[in-house]
A and B are shown apart, each in its own frame.
Chain A
């Protein structure tokens, strides 16, 4: 029997990973695959992907997500070019990447564990069911790429620290920085590279032949530069586009909501038999104050980290694994900033190193002991059970409908699944069922205006005007400073013939959002529809022209209205309209502003324009 070497263990674990996930080659597009790959022109050729190198990850209408993953898109472009868009090829590449990461994990583990322990760790990493979402769903590619880059960087940094000659150092420095670049341009999580390298360095038992200043400086420069470019590309959305459930929470409320989620994440590492593609409320409910389950989450997270500290000297491999999992999970923990998910199994991809190394350590310490056989049997049972659950879970991602349908059945309390299902049903033409799902979604998470916005649209499409008004009103009560919601409510009123109410809503909207061009345009149309005086329509038009920067038109409209303004204002609305636009009038036509002020004063003392508004 050939001796089990590190390399053989790595190949064995990689082969196990590939074998378990071979079934995923039968999967098609599912989940976010459609938007990110199937319907994304940037993912359809290498040239298109390179041209989109400085574009956000998501196509045009989804850029609020604030993601930047050009290397991932490039791999899609390569896949599409090679396969003509055949899904099996995309899945095969994912399986290959998972096998690669698994092999690399064995090499990482081998620094602390005997070969059998490292193999055990690799096998558990290969078959862990939490990985199904990342491997069997094509858009999980980003997780696989970032993981490959980070683990490769960690291993290359080890080689750099041991390099003897200057040439070797330069080579390993280049490989390390290249691997970090690979990771960081594949997924934002790559920013933790420097922390992971430092963590591995801190636990490294072998003496370095030289200092690592150049390595840390290089990785730091790359990370800072990437963060700068990311901010430039994703703009205001960087780390600001939180999950819907978290978007309207204060930082304290976000943390109290997330504490139970940390417990769930720990559960997934240890007991991954109950899986979900989405953990939105009410799977993990929004909790505005500290709950007992939140306290438990806090206690278990703190206990894990404390255990890590206590084991630094006694069992460094376990301490390393705990800190490694914490560092890789941190960017999506919603602790410092809101991320796009509450919990996502794909984000735990690298954190699985924790149970993997625990298993490996268990196998290692049992060597030569009486209970060795029991440990081996136990490990085998765990691996078989995990492997079985993974294989069972893979078809979940076979097409666009299955994840939503199964998720709805498994977690009817998930509002997000209802919203997605509502959208899918609407796209399929079943507007009634879509509306029903959206109304349920709104009931499940009454603090979220999103479902109400979509429900309003579908209710209006079906001619259910009162329902449309009710949902529009609900969305407006939750979020009145959103132009889309204001427009929807005004349209709902207009549909019922309540034009004055529509105008009143738009007037309030324009007051609250004076720089929204679309709202100003709607307001101008409402003025026209309600037969407002011509000078008021011109004033509204000038306001809109100012906001879109068409100052030539704004000035021309003010010139026209100058000859049309009545000498005395007769209704309070006139005064309000002038007050609203007086800043613009004063900026472009100061004499007209003075004249309007005089007319306002002559009309009614209450109509006198606020001097503050004049100076704006």
Chain B
């Protein structure tokens, strides 16, 4: 009886380790959730504000801004999902629990799909499982999983699309489903475009021209409404806030070609190197970086025939991350489970080539063991991955409570976390720091442009979660426009501050 169950469990553990992994990742993702305020990483606040707008029947608008413009920067799928959950439980911030639960479910499901798909890599089961556990519990990934970001849903859709496309017998329906999922991935994060490019290419290279066309058509069909939406409403965004609220086209237009060309320094891959390898003398650093790159490239080359859709999607993904003038880290962390699989595959391949080749993975392994593993252990033991979000929350907790008690309901607040402040205070908000993009640099718009924007939008208060150097470049010039422009209501040393704003004219 009991031995039968034990035997069944042992067999099940071998045959069904992806399910065990998925459960583990689901539980870890729930454990990784922080008590931080929604909006501490900016985008999370915007997603939830958009969800609130949809749930309240106000349309896909940035309702925290006084003129509530149509949203064109963030693709809509994740806010739509959150809006359904918001309708189920309309009590914010209590309902964040549901958002967190959804994210954890999405990540756990993604883990299962990646594990099942990863079996095609022909890595030994324990090695693949270990690589995926390492990837899914990596502290940078847990940091972004701990707040309502669209990454878990994106990973689920992206992984579903490529794993479906990598099936050996893929009929017309399968190809269309893969394209559809890739399109949904793009509706979650715009970089899902990589799958929309990669999947048809991989199918084409496998000789399935019809499948490739069907996948591409299905994917394009899914994103067409969003493209139409962008073409209609894209121009409505005030150029002074276009860097944050405009379309990616507007952003690229501001950045110019220089922004793209400068990105070709391959800095996009630096987060992996910085995460896994120690610093030190440049020679050592260069040798280790080359070794790591060799292992990853070898792994990628090995996997091309086994996981063609995945690799042909990851390549455009990394190309976009490389040239696009954004900080690449967040885009890379969500790929860590796959990067771990690629690395493990490369190491396994090198191992089979004899002791000379084995030296490379051994040295990289030692470097990772010495540098990365202790940091990872410390982070997991002390929940270090959550510290950034929780520390950023602290001044906002003071600030939002102070805004609620110290400003009228119809106040319009210019602040550095406009979505967060709106969510927790109900006040209309505008961004405090107006800037444009030039190349890969951000240029502040200057006090007169800022003051004019504030006056046009009825700003009555200026709030910053930090005082000192973080906002001095904005507030001091703004206060200097005219003596009574900013009247300080309070300022916490090294903490938040709130001032009354009066139009200079």
Contact = CB atoms under 8 A, between A and B. Distances in A.
A418 to B, nearest CB: 37
B16 A590 contact: no
Given A220-B23, A588-B491, A551 B402 contact: yes
A204 B1 contact: yes
A552 interface: yes
Secondary structure of the A side of the interface?
A: helix
Interface in B464-494: 489-493
A587 B495 contact: yes
B458 to A, nearest CB: 20
A555 interface: yes
Contact of B498 (A221, A228, A229, A552): A552
Contact of A224 (B5, B26, B100, B493): B26
B2 interface: yes
Contacts of A225: 30, 101, 105
Interface string B72-112: 00000000000000000101001111101100110010000
Nearest to B406: A552
B91 A54 contact: yes
Q: How large is the interface on B (under 10, 10 to 19, 20 to 34, 35 or more residues)?
A: 35 or more
Interface stretch (A90-98, A205-213, A478-486): A205-213
Contacts of A201: 5
Interface string A597-614: 000000000000000000
A553 interface: yes
B5 A202 contact: yes
Given A211-B16, A551-B398, A203 B1 contact: yes
Contacts of B257: none
Contacts of B133: none
A443 interface: no
Contacts, number: 102
A68 to B, nearest CB: 11
A202 B3 CA distance: 8
B94 to A, nearest CB: 7
B105 A550 contact: no
Interface string A557-586: 000000000000000000000000000001
B94 A233 contact: yes
B405 interface: yes
A316 B398 CA distance: 61
Q: How large is the interface on A (under 10, 10 to 19, 20 to 34, 35 or more residues)?
A: 35 or more
Contacts of B264: none
Nearest to B500: A552
B95 A549 contact: no
B12 interface: yes
Nearest to A204: B1
A552 B1 CA distance: 70
A404 B15 CA distance: 58
Contact of B1 (A54, A202, A221, A233): A202
A54 B95 contact: yes
Contact of A548 (B405, B489, B498): B405
B94 A553 contact: no
A204 to B, nearest CB: 7
A217 B5 contact: no
A588 B490 contact: yes
B132 to A, nearest CB: 17
Contacts of A553: 405-406
A514 B502 CA distance: 36
Interface of B: 1-2, 4-5, 8, 11-12, 15-16, 19, 22-23, 26-27, 30, 89, 91, 94-98, 100-101, 104-105, 108, 398, 401-402, 404-407, 489-493, 495, 498
Given A552-B402, A587-B492, A588-B492, 15 more contacts: A54-B95, A202-B2, A208-B8, A211-B11, A213-B15, A217-B19, A225-B30, A225-B101, A228-B101, A232-B100, A316-B1, A551-B398, A551-B402, A552-B407, A552-B490
